[in-house]
């Protein structure tokens, strides 16, 4: 069965600091993994996706994630946080046989000046 676990429900960083949001997955097949961002009262926007090609995936807004099979991890990073990065971030794994997703519980990122 597919599942994802996001470690840390809330992460706080200073503007300009490194952002690290953690995600571990469980999958019975080679996984397709995604990171989405959600701003208040809005839908989800895709940041990046891993589809079994390069293990280091670059996304929008300067975010990237590295797929590590040995650690069953897909952590999201950004070298330098901006105030506009403050939002809810969700890691997700695709359910085999379609495009439906299983999401983690989310991590709230706060950025202080």
Partner 1 sequence: DAGVTQSPTHLIKTRGQQVTLRCSPKSGHDTVSWYQQALGQGPQFIFQYYEEEERQRGNFPDRFSGHQFPNYSSELNVNALLLGDSALYLCASSSATGGGTEAFFGQGTRLTVV
Q: Which residues bind partner 1 (CB under 8 A)?
A: 32, 34, 36, 42-46, 49, 51, 90, 92, 94-95, 97-106
Query: Smallest distance from the beta carbon of 105 to partner 1, in angstroms?
Result: 5
83 burial type by CB count under 10 A (0-12 exposed, 13-18 middle, 19+ buried): exposed
- Nearest CB to partner 1, comparing residues 43 and 70: 43
- Nearest CB to partner 1, comparing residues 19 and 33: 33
- Nearest CB to partner 1, comparing residues 103 and 110: 103
Sign of CA dihedral 67, 71, 73, 79: negative
Query: Smallest distance from the beta carbon of 17 to partner 1, in angstroms?
Result: 25
Query: Smallest distance from the beta carbon of 97 to partner 1, in angstroms?
Result: 7
Q: From the CA atom positions of the chain, what is the Rg in Å?
A: 13
Helix and strand counts by DSSP (H, E) for the chain: 0, 11
Query: Smallest distance from the beta carbon of 99 to partner 1, in angstroms?
Result: 4
| Chain centroid, CA 89 distance in Å | 6
| 19, 78 Cβ separation under 8 angstroms | yes
- Nearest CB to partner 1, comparing residues 6 and 73: 6
């Amino acid at each position: 069965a597919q599942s994802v676990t996001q470690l840390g429900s809330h992460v706080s960083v200073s503007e300009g600091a490194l952002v690290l949001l953690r995600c571990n997955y469980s999958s019975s097949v080679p996984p397709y993994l995604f990171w989405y961002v959600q701003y208040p009262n809005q839908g989800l926007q895709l940041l990046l996706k891993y589809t079994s090609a390069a293990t280091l995936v670059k996304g929008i807004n300067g975010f990237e994630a590295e797929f590590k099979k040995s650690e069953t991890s897909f952590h999201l990073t950004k070298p330098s946080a901006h105030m506009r990065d403050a939002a809810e971030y969700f890691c997700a794994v695709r359910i085999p046989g379609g495009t439906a997703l299983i999401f983690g519980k989310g991590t709230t990122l706060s950025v202080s000046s």
